[in-house]
Amino acid sequence: MAGAALPTAELTTSGRPILLPNEIECSLLSNVELEPEGSPPLSSSIHLRSSFLILTTHRLIFVSDSSAAAANTASYVPLASVTHIFLLKKSIKSMFGSPRLKVQLSVGSDGRVGGMGTRSIVATLVMRGKDDVEAFVDKFRQNWGARVWEREKESESASSGSSLVVESSASSSGFDSRGMRVVGVAGILRREQEMWESTDKSLQDAFQDLNALMSKAKEMVMLAEKMRLKLLSGPSQAGSSNDEELGSKEEMQDWLLSVGIVSPVTKESAGALYHQQLSRQLADFVKIPLERSGGMINLIDMYCLFNRARGTELISPEDLLRACSLWEKFDVPVMLRKFDSGVMIIQNKSHSDEEVFARIKLLITRPDALQMGVSAGDAAMTLGIAPAMAKEHLLTAESRGLLCRDISPDGFRFYINLFPEIRTDDIYLVKDQGIYATWIKCASSPSRLQ
Amino acid sequence: MQTLGNFKLPPFFNYPPYFTLQPVRDTREKQVQLWKELILDYCKTQKISVIGLEEEFPLFSNPAIESKDLFINLCISAGSLTHEAREAFLAALVSEAGRAEWLDKGHRKCLILWHRIQDWADILLNFVKDNGLEDSVMTVEEIRSGPESRGTDLQGVDRIILMRALKLLEHKGKLAIFKGTSADDEGIKFSR
């Protein structure tokens, strides 16, 4: 198999790579080939063709370029294994041919990429797509130089160490940053003050300009996470907090609860493949909100949720619509549906109207509903969905002949459809069995007269 | 069982959707059918021949449904047909040949023919035969309110309907219509 020597990258069901913690997607190239030099047994196992390439802060991910998501396979080269990036060749030949970029990779003694390298091979990235290659190479070099993965390891070990320090300092009344021993209420106050100042400083730094904010983004996320944890553990220890405080805490929690998409697909990173990639990412994202809202969600609600999660990289409604309509081409478990009224929703492919109709029927044949009908609001409460959606369901059920409507000053109400049971040749005839007879019993019951 | 005067109402008269024009085709067809039956039935027992769309018509509203909320008496009231619905049901009767006719272009008055004109003509002929009125002369008013017609469908029949039936029979040569002595009454001479 081609590329067997490369580790396999995990993909979501819609064919987007699953990123590592803190990994951020930076750029995307279509139609890239990985062509190693050197002896055949090794090179053939690394050779990869016709795939698109995703550059992240940690890896080069090669995803085989097929439209069916199920057939997608992916492998990656960790940037840590890249030992050298050669200069992009600028010759007359390269002006006409596809741009080629040579990289040196360290390979283990078994010929596998990743892990401890003992040997090194040179491989060429042949970029046949019509993307901005120079920008990609710049970004590649930048990411490789940044060595984010190394810093992570350091911070991991550092954080485990520092937590030990904090614990010990907490137990032995602690020292402040200048090495002065602080004790009692004054010490606690000073520590609080110091913490407050450092938080304040990072906030100020962050808001100096947008670039600074972006570079501070990670710190901000960590700060937000910390605040969230503190808020979650807060109520148990703070018994004296008043209602107002509690309210603002809840509000704060709401803000922080929705943890956004770490690496949103942007026009900048995905280029020509933007809508395709956006579509796949959206398919992954909608799963949880869909489950929560009973298998169906309004497109407008989805737009809000999706953009909320994306933070600053907002998309336009048109982009969302295009991304949704691309689902038909991929093998994803969700679909876009348009109701007769023009309302558009996203629903699971497994979602069936029959199930909803069965529940509506149950609701509509209850004695009080037989008598008074149900409104969209009543149905929304029982079915646990939004009123607008409930109305769509009721209208669909009506068009199938399950319900019929009554418009009165009480509003728009739906009743079980009795018309098919009434005989036109004898309008007084009531069959003993059936919903018509049940309805008459309910309608003439004393509760109506009171 | 609910009644309207001496008219027995069917159970579905208390069914609120019966009073709202249904948008779904199959449901609406059935609803229109039921309304047609009920209107004809009611008009026949109550001897009503003309329904004015802008006038009160007892069949077109159900106080039992209305009364579920006492505060509603303003514009549209519950359990009563809108103008659009009334017109739709009557138009359905009109489109069924010989069951009803609009009396004006604005569709404000509708003539309900619970007997078709042809049936009215047959009733008239039977009436003439039963009473031995061949070769005799009667006024139109006499047919409607005279002692001979008492207890028959002809008693109090709408003048417009009666004139239509008479004209049909004149066309067939069964009788002759001529101007009577009084200005607003015509004389009828039945032939043998």
Query: Is A418 in contact with B8 (Cβ distance < 8 A)?
Result: no
pLDDT of A272 reads: 63
pLDDT of A323 reads: 87
pLDDT digits (tens, 9 = 90+) for A71-89: 567 888 888 888 888 877 6
* B 38-67: CB under 8 A from A: 38, 41
Distances (CA, A) of B72 to A70, A378, B13, B59, B80: 60, 22, 20, 19, 12
pLDDT of A161 reads: 47
Q: Does A222 touch chain B (CB under 8 A)?
A: no
**What angle separates helix A376-383 from helix A353-364, to the nearest 10 degrees?**
110
pLDDT of A167 reads: 41
Instruction: Please report which confidence band the pLDDT of residue A268 belongs to, taking 50, 70 and 90 as the band edges.
Output: low
pLDDT of A264 reads: 67
Query: Is B20 in contact with A419 (Cβ distance < 8 A)?
Result: no
E strand or H helix that includes residue A191 = helix A184-207
Residue of B nearest to A370 (CA): B15
Give chain B positions within 8 Å (CB) of A415: 15-17
- Out of A171-175, A277-281, A286-290, pick the least confident: A171-175
Q: Which long-range contacts (CB under 8 A, 24 or more apart) does A300-303 make?
A: A301/A386, A302/A346
Q: Does B14 touch chain A (CB under 8 A)?
A: yes
pLDDT digits (tens, 9 = 90+) for A416-438: 898 888 887 777 877 777 788 88
**Percent with pLDDT over 90 in chain A:** 1
- Out of A46-55, A346-355, A383-392, B156-165, pick the least confident: A46-55
- The pLDDT of A150-162, averaged and rounded, is 63
Give chain A positions within 8 Å (CB) of B79: 408
Contacts of A162 (CB under 8 A, 6+ apart): none
ipTM of this model? 0.78
Q: Does A398 touch chain B (CB under 8 A)?
A: yes
Note whether B87 and B53 are within 8 A (CB): yes
* A 423-442: CB under 8 A from B: 424, 427-428, 430, 436, 439-440
Of A405, A424, A436, the CB nearest to B22: A405
The larger pLDDT score, comparing residue A334 to residue B97, is at A334
- B117-190 shares the fold of B3-112: yes
The larger pLDDT score, comparing residue B74 to residue A112, is at A112
Q: Does A420 touch chain B (CB under 8 A)?
A: yes
- The pLDDT of B130-138, averaged and rounded, is 82
Query: Is A418 in contact with B15 (Cβ distance < 8 A)?
Result: yes
Domain contains A187: no
pLDDT of A44 reads: 56
Show the tokens assigned to B94.
């009109």
With a cut of 60, say whether residue A40 has pLDDT above it. no
- Amino acid identity at B75: C
A-interface mutation test, from B1, B20, B38, B83, most A Cβ less than 10 A away: B20
Same-domain pairing of A45 and A121: yes
Same-domain pairing of A359 and A337: no
Residue of B156, B21, B107, B23 lying closest to A399 (CA atoms):
B23
Q: Are strands B3-4 and B7-8 parallel, antiparallel or unpaired?
A: antiparallel
Report how many domains make up chain A: 3
With a cut of 70, say whether residue A262 has pLDDT above it. no
pLDDT digits (tens, 9 = 90+) for A106-120: 877 666 776 666 777
B-interface mutation test, from A412, A425, A427, most B Cβ less than 10 A away: A427
Domain contains A365: yes
Same-domain pairing of A321 and A390: no
With a cut of 80, say whether residue B188 has pLDDT above it. yes
**End residue of a domain, out of A96, A117, A148:** A148
Terminal alpha carbon distance of chain A: 80
HSE, side-chain direction, 13 A CA sphere, residue A115: 12
Same-domain pairing of A70 and A127: yes
- The pLDDT of A386-393, averaged and rounded, is 84
With a cut of 80, say whether residue A248 has pLDDT above it. no
With a cut of 60, say whether residue A168 has pLDDT above it. no
The span from the CA of A24 to the CA of A138, in Å, is 16
- The pLDDT of B61-84, averaged and rounded, is 59
The larger pLDDT score, comparing residue A223 to residue A439, is at A439
pLDDT of A258 reads: 52
Distances (CA, A) of B140 to A389, A435, B123, B158: 64, 51, 15, 11
Q: Find where tokens 């359990």 sit.
A: B79
Query: Is B69 in contact with A410 (Cβ distance < 8 A)?
Result: yes
Note whether A373 and A282 are within 8 A (CB): no
Q: Does B31 touch chain A (CB under 8 A)?
A: yes
Of B10, B20, B30, the CB nearest to A405: B20
- Out of A114-118, A124-128, B59-63, pick the least confident: A114-118
Query: Is B38 in contact with A418 (Cβ distance < 8 A)?
Result: no
Q: Does B132 touch chain A (CB under 8 A)?
A: no
Note whether A55 and A140 are within 8 A (CB): yes
pLDDT of A105 reads: 81
Query: Is B34 in contact with A419 (Cβ distance < 8 A)?
Result: yes
Any idea which architecture B117-190 has in CATH?
Orthogonal Bundle (1.10)
- The pLDDT of A207-223, averaged and rounded, is 65
Of B31, B38, B78, the CB nearest to A410: B78
- The pLDDT of B56-85, averaged and rounded, is 64
Domain contains A87: yes
Q: What are phi and psi of A13, to 5 degrees?
A: -60, -25
pLDDT of B68 reads: 45
Instruction: Please report which confidence band the pLDDT of residue B67 belongs to, taking 50, 70 and 90 as the band edges.
Output: very low
pLDDT of A103 reads: 84
Distances (CA, A) of A361 to A150, A300, A383, A403, B89: 61, 28, 11, 9, 29
pLDDT of A54 reads: 85
With a cut of 70, say whether residue A50 has pLDDT above it. no
Q: What are phi and psi of A190, to 5 degrees?
A: -65, -45
pLDDT of B162 reads: 87
- The pLDDT of A144-165, averaged and rounded, is 65
Domain B3-112 has CATH 2.40.40.20: no
pLDDT of A260 reads: 58
Q: Does B37 touch chain A (CB under 8 A)?
A: yes
Same-domain pairing of A122 and A33: yes
Domain contains A397: yes
The span from the CA of A184 to the CA of A177, in Å, is 16
- The pLDDT of A188-194, averaged and rounded, is 84
Give chain A positions within 8 Å (CB) of B68: 448
**End residue of a domain, out of A286, A319, A348:** A348
What is the nearest CA distance from A397 to chain B, expressed in angstroms? 11
Same-domain pairing of A375 and A341: no
Same-domain pairing of A94 and A47: yes
Q: What is the CATH number of the domain that holds A78?
A: 2.30.29.30
Domain contains A241: no
Q: What is the CATH number of the domain that holds A337?
A: 1.10.10.10
Note whether A67 and A82 are within 8 A (CB): no
- Amino acid identity at B8: K
**Percent with pLDDT over 70 in chain A:** 68
pLDDT of A448 reads: 44
pLDDT of B56 reads: 79
Same-domain pairing of A49 and A138: yes
Instruction: Please report which confidence band the pLDDT of residue B73 belongs to, taking 50, 70 and 90 as the band edges.
Output: very low
Distances (CA, A) of B152 to A106, B146, B149, B164: 113, 11, 6, 18
What is the nearest CA distance from A343 to chain B, expressed in angstroms? 19
The span from the CA of A277 to the CA of A271, in Å, is 10
The DSSP result for B50-84, as a single string, is EEETTS--GGGB-HHHHTTSTT--SSS-TTB--HH
How many DSSP H helices and E strands does chain A contain? 17, 12
The 10 Å Cβ neighbour count of residue B37 is: 17
Instruction: Please report which confidence band the pLDDT of residue A356 belongs to, taking 50, 70 and 90 as the band edges.
Output: confident
pLDDT of A278 reads: 85
What is the nearest CA distance from B99 to chain A, expressed in angstroms? 16
Show the tokens assigned to A135.
């920008």
Same-domain pairing of A296 and A316: yes
pLDDT of A125 reads: 82
E strand or H helix that includes residue A77 = strand A74-78
What is the nearest CA distance from A293 to chain B, expressed in angstroms? 29
Instruction: Please report which confidence band the pLDDT of residue A241 belongs to, taking 50, 70 and 90 as the band edges.
Output: very low
Give chain B positions within 8 Å (CB) of A398: 23-24
Domain contains A260: no
The span from the CA of A321 to the CA of A344, in Å, is 10
What domain range includes position A68? 25-148
The span from the CA of A119 to the CA of A361, in Å, is 70
With a cut of 70, say whether residue A11 has pLDDT above it. yes
The larger pLDDT score, comparing residue A110 to residue B149, is at B149
Give chain B positions within 8 Å (CB) of A438: none
Spell out a b/e string for A65-101, using b for 16 or more CB atoms within 10 Å of the CB, else e. beeebeebebbbbbbbbbeebeebeeeeeeeeeebbb
pLDDT of A371 reads: 80
The span from the CA of B108 to the CA of B57, in Å, is 13
- Out of A282-291, A338-347, B179-188, pick the least confident: B179-188
The span from the CA of B108 to the CA of B84, in Å, is 12
- The pLDDT of A352-373, averaged and rounded, is 84
Instruction: Please report which confidence band the pLDDT of residue B66 belongs to, taking 50, 70 and 90 as the band edges.
Output: low
**End residue of a domain, out of A116, A148, A180:** A148
* Spans of all domains in chain B: 3-112, 117-190
What is the nearest CA distance from B62 to chain A, expressed in angstroms? 13
The DSSP result for B12-61, as a single string, is GGG-GGGGS---SHHHHHHHHHHHHHHHHHHHHHHT--EEETTS--GGGB
What is the nearest CA distance from A356 to chain B, expressed in angstroms? 20
Give chain A positions within 8 Å (CB) of B63: none
Same-domain pairing of A134 and A63: yes
Give chain B positions within 8 Å (CB) of A409: 69, 72, 74, 76-78
Q: Does B70 touch chain A (CB under 8 A)?
A: no
Residue of A nearest to B41 (CA): A427
Q: What pairs with residue A338 in β-bridges?
A: A344
Same-domain pairing of A333 and A358: no
With a cut of 70, say whether residue A210 has pLDDT above it. no
- The pLDDT of A187-205, averaged and rounded, is 80
Give chain B positions within 8 Å (CB) of A443: 11, 14-15
